[in-house]
Each structure stands twice: as structure tokens, then as C-alpha cells.
Structure 1
Amino acid sequence: MKRRWIAASLLVAGLLVPAGPARAATALPAGKANWVVAVAGLDQASVNNYRDWVRLGYYAFTTDGAVVHNYWTWNLLDQPVRVDSVYADCSGDVPDCYVKTVDGFAGDPTGGFQGAYSYTSDGRLKITWTKDAAGNARSPLTEYWNLTSLGTVARMNSATLYTNPPQIPAAGVFSDYSATFGIGYGSNAGLGRETRATMTQLVTDARYNARKYTGTFVVENGGTVSRQSTGGTWWFGSGNQTPGDANYNNPWQVCANAQCIGWNQHNSSCNCGATFPTKNRVRYIAEIGGGRRNTEWYWCQCLAQGQPCYKANSHPRPLLQVVDDDGVFQGWVGVEAFTHVSTSTLLPDGQYASAYFGLFDMVPDQLLP
């Protein structure tokens, strides 16, 4: 009798992935099937000579012990470029600009793995990738994740993500390949476009606009790996909720096309000197492509030197929304793939030490460790 294969359609990449033969049920990680995950291979430049990389995508688990990963990935030495996405025509003092993202993020996932998962004796999640996206065998890659149940959502993280300063884990602690850090959130909500919160909802929905969002950012810059602020704290409804703060009653603005939001963050840490004295930082978040995708872009307004938009060394950050079991937005996981460019040509200039490559989350306080 011929073995039958059941094709499971994954919205995240449009791929048909065959499920394996029937086997004993395996408990889903923290009871959650669908995850948004950022992984990075970051190290001191003296160790890896700037061979840093970031990967952002989806992990989809099934109770037969199988897991599928579809992802976008960027390498620092490839010097990925910034490209235009949505036009931000917001109200207020937010400049009208095309929101930049990293080349490739608007298209289909650029890679994928198939593999199996199990649990170690101390309760960590073990994932071994044994095939590529098409199901062809590849050299195995293994990851070990710490799991935390948070009710309607769960978190996975690499062993040293929250150390400060970040510690590069020894080989085999998080992975048996070059991955050194990871963060992800999972639930049983679907991974399609219909599950993500709209830009208008972020600003107007009472479930989202009065909460503050912050998180952990691990980044390689200047040849060293450090832990930095993710750029928060953010309140989408009215900026900082503390009366007297520079951003009190300074909410994010919805673009006229409803595909993005923008914020002129007053009195930030930006400083370009007396010629262009504004300390404002301009931020945007935009919908992009399908699935849970958003993209963030920000830059110091003084760097534009009186022009509406700054196009050179701005910060592009691909994002995936965290959505809980009830379909409620709970923030993002994301990566930064910042290539340094010449301010005159806007082309990559090989200044690898000036790049920013990292991963982060931006979530409500109750999801943080």
C-alpha cells in the first residue's frame, strides 16, 4: 500500500510542504504552533572579520515533530542596500518621504529550512534543520532555545540574549553553526496578512495605543557586539504619556494612504551641532508585502540638513508582528541591516565598522523578562 503524503499549505511563503508519516504526537513548543523569529550570527570583528548576518522569518511547528522555517536573510559583507517602499504622507510635522526598507524584504522569502524538533532533559527546545525549503537534504544545523509561556503568547530566546553586555555563546550552547543570538514569539494565530494589525489600528485602537512598547536590541557595530535600546519607549496614541515630556500629546500620525504611520520624536539623542540644531528623530512604520510583515525606518532630522528626507545612513528594520492566540497585536520581532553608504553617491562604501547588524523585539512590558 502506497504511503500517502498530506500537503500542508503555509501562507507565509506559498509553499507546499509534505508532512511526514504518522508518528506519536509531539507537544508544540509552549503549546504554540506559529512563531515569528529573528536569528543572528554576530561576533566581534576580531573573531569573524565582519561576517555578521541576520535572518527574519516564521517557524511553523506541527504535532508530528516537524518544523518549517521560511525566512529573509542579509549578510553584512554583501552590503545590502536600502530601497523605497510605501510613501509616507502623514500629517503634523512628520516629513513626507518614501519609507526605506532592506532590499529583498518586499518579495517572497529568500530561503527556508525543514527539520524536526524535540526537547532536552532540561526543557529546552531543540531544532535540527535537515532540509532546504524544497525538501532537499542539507548538512544538519541545530539550535537550542529557552522557552517561556506567557499565556496567549510564548517566547523563545537564545541562552545569552539578555546578558548585558551580550555574551557570545560557546559553540553548541545556542547553535552548532554561526548563529549566536535569537528571539521569537509564538501563538496559535495564523501567519497570514489577515492576522496583522493595521497601521490605523495601532494609533486608534485602545488595545494598542495606550501601551508602551520596548525591548532588547543586540547589535554589532564598530567591531563589537553590544546591547542597546530598541528605540522605545513608544506609545502610539499620544507619544510619551508623562505630562511635561517633550513628546507628551505628540502621537504617531497615520499616513493618508493608511499603509504607514510616522512620528517626529522630539528632543531625542540626535545631535548635529549648531548648524542644524534640531534633536528630533523621524520614525516610520509601514505595511509591506503579505503575512505579518511591517518595516521600520528612522533617522536624525538634522542629518537631512534642511531637506525633507535623509536618504544616506538611515536605519532600515524589517519587522514581523507578534499576534497572540486571540488575534491581539503584541508588538514585533525584527532585524536591522544597516549598510554604510557614501553620503555623496548613496552607494555602499565598504565601511563595515560603521554598519549596524542586529536583532530585537519591541513588545509590551508584560512580555519582557
Structure 2
Amino acid sequence: MALLGGMAAAGGATASASVPLAAQPAPGGKTNFVVSLGGFRTNRTDNWLRISQYTFNPDNGTVTAQWWRWNQGNMRDIRVDTPVAAADCGPTQCYTRTPKRFMSGPSETVSGTYEVDGSALTVFWPSGSAKLEERWTVNTVARTDGSVDPSLVQLDWAGAGSGFTATAGYGFGSNAPFSASASASDLMLPENKVNYSYRYSGISKGQLGSGSSSMSLPVYKQCRDARCIGTATKTAAGAGCTYYPPGESKENTTINFYLASIAGDRRNAYEHWYRCLGYRPSTGQTCYKMNSHVKPLIQVIDDNGGFRGWVGAETSFSSTADGNSDGDPIGDTLSVVKAGPRVLSP
């Protein structure tokens, strides 16, 4: 099985040789990981990404992944409404949107092997007669006093093997089952309603970009539908707005943020867009249905069942109308993201 368009082009290098099955330690003592991985290159339209759940089996050194994946070619995606309405949690009342593929369970299951050498984790995925190689560093997570938090480990991207086009990734692991999750109401509990350090790496309009910000749950509130939380902030408008709602202007307009629990599992649909994009003087305020920022996220849950953050992706494929992704691929915004982890006290 060829994975993600990840092999080098014909005539390029081949992937690493196969690895015999053998017992291996669980990475950082953990077996269940949530992972976001992508391959991004400037001024190209063959970029790709996936968000995954990895299960490691130390008895025989195997790993099984279930994932959702996207690329700029034959695996583009459209934005769709989730069944979760964001009402009474911001200035607009709209359904939270997400990529259509994320509304269903993982689309692929793949089995591979892995090796652990100290803090170095190498994962091998089949690709025809060869293998694709992911390299990670397994790091501990610190508590507020600097001591080691035993309930969670973090994966830091350490590069790809020859022939694999992955360039960036994030991951966290614990021994909690993937059935463990946090509801939108849980996210509003005092222990979870904190600022989460946010990082991203990817491509937008053909240019590479990475950076950090904050996902600040203290400014969110529960929507009328308890499966959703939302907020709004004011900032200068980006490109695309011609008209502005009463009381707003190009220098001071609203961004709507919605986050919804869409299936009672670890999936969250995260979306944000400028309110002015959905405003026309003739029709008033409507819900924006084209190029909003859509970010499918998977929750990070620790050994004790506690919510700690997210890994995920931005899958904002360029659209020319509601229900398509027919825009020029060079205009896509794709990235891998993480938010957290929430740091615990001893």
C-alpha cells in the first residue's frame, strides 16, 4: 500500500529496508497516541497531511494506525455543516463546519512496525516492497514544579527516512483508551478552562509558515447546544470583506470561533471566520459558507482520563462556492497543529 503520496518520485531514493518483528518497549511506557503529520513544500500543490490514532503493541513491536488524510490532489475535501448549532455563544448563530471526511470515522487502517532506542522512536509503514520511516523523540511532560508528569508523553518530530516526504508532526501518548474523551461541557470545567499553547506548521497560498499562539478557553462560553462552545474577538479585518456589520469597520471587526463535539468521541470540529464575510447590507448577517478556517482536532487524554489538549490539522481547501473545493490549490491553507498540553500540579 502506498501511503500519502509519501514516496519520492520515480528515480528518487527508496525507503528504509524492512525491520524484523521483535518485542519493543512501549514508547515512553504508553501504547495509545494521537498524531498529526504532514508534508509541506513551498510553491507546490502536492502537499498532504493526516491526523491519526496509533496503537503500539510491545509484545511484537507492531503499530496499528487509524487515520483521516487529505492532500491537494485527489484527496481534497469540502466544508460541511456539523449537526451542532453555535447559538448564544457569539454574535452569529451558525452551524459549526468541518471537513466532510472528518464527519465519519477514520478512513484507513494501516499496520507497521516500530523500534525504540532510548528516547528515539522510529515507525515503519509499508509502501509497496519498501517502508516509509517516521522518526520521533519521545519526551516527558513536566508538571508545574518541573517534576515529571507520569500520565502523558509527547512526541517531537525528528525527521523522515529517505523517500518519505513528511516534514512536520506533533503527537501525545498515554494508556487511556481511545474511547475516553471530554465533552464540550467538560471543556468548560475550571481545570480545563485555561490557555493552551498553540503551535502550527504548514503552508498557505504556496508559502511555508509556522508559529505559535494561544487557544484561550477562558474566553469561550457554552452554546445553547451543549455540544458546542464559542467566542468572538475583535481585530483588523483580513482580505475579502467589502461590507461590515453595524458598529464594525475594517480596523475593528469580529472573528467568530466555534468548537463542537460532533460524535461523542475525541473528535472536535474547530472553525473560525471573520463575521464581515457573511454580512451584506441587503440581506444582513448570514453564515459564511466558503473559505472559513476549518481545523479537525483529536483530543489528548492522559492516563487518568483527564483532558490535556489537542492535535489536529487545518484543512482549508480553496473554495469558489459552498460545497466545493474547486479553487486554485495554490490558495489552500494546510497545516498540522497542536494545542497544549495543559500542565498539571503535583
Return the TM-score normalized by structure 2: 0.81
Report how far residue 339 of structure 1 moved.
1.1
Report how far residue 24 of structure 1 moved.
6.5
Partners of 1:183 and 1:30 lie apart in 2 by 15
Match of 2:288 among 310, 313, 316: 310
Partners of 2:292 and 2:129 lie apart in 1 by 37
Partners of 2:120 and 2:204 lie apart in 1 by 30
Contact 1:55 1:73 in 2 (8 A): yes
Report how far residue 268 of structure 1 moved.
2.9
1:11 match: none
1:262 match: 230
Partners of 2:191 and 2:269 lie apart in 1 by 21
Q: 1:114 to 1:196 in 2, by over 3 A?
A: same
1:41 match: 39
Contact 1:88 1:261 in 2 (8 A): no
Match of 1:108 among 105, 125, 143: 105
Matched, 1:180 2:167: yes
2:67 match: 71
1:351 match: 328
1:59 match: 54
Q: 1:289 to 1:92 in 2, by over 3 A?
A: closer
Deviations 1:191-236 (A, max 9, x none): 01xx111101111x12111x21122111211212111345x341x2
Matched, 1:225 2:216: no
Partners of 2:277 and 2:211 lie apart in 1 by 21
Report how far residue 92 of structure 1 moved.
4.6
Partners of 2:174 and 2:341 lie apart in 1 by 16
2:299 match: 321
- Mark the runs of 5 or more structure 2 residues left unpaired by the alignment: 1-20, 142-148
Contact 2:80 2:323 in 1 (8 A): no
**SS at 2:235's partner residue?**
coil
Instruction: Give the partner amino acid of 2:320.
Output: S
Percent of residue pairs bearing the same amino acid type: 30
Partners of 1:293 and 1:189 lie apart in 2 by 15
Partners of 1:216 and 1:93 lie apart in 2 by 25
Match of 1:341 among 319, 325, 333: 319
1:197 match: 182
1:16 match: none
Deviations 1:239-265 (A, max 9, x none): 2xxxxxxxxxxxx2222231111112x
Return the TM-score normalized by structure 1: 0.76
**SS at 2:28's partner residue?**
helix
Count residues with an aligned counterpart.
Answer: 303
RMSD: 2.3
Deviations 1:311-369 (A, max 9, x none): 111011111000111111001001111111125x66333322221011010114649xx
**SS at 1:267's partner residue?**
strand
**SS at 1:157's partner residue?**
strand
Q: 1:24 to 1:56 in 2, by over 3 A?
A: closer
Instruction: Give the partner amino acid of 1:177.
Output: F
Q: Relative contact order (alpha carbons < 8 A, sep ≥ 6): 1 or 2 greater?
A: 2
Q: 1:180 to 1:89 in 2, by over 3 A?
A: closer
The structure with the largest strand share of the pair is 2
Contact 1:271 1:302 in 2 (8 A): no
Instruction: Give the partner amino acid of 1:206.
Output: P
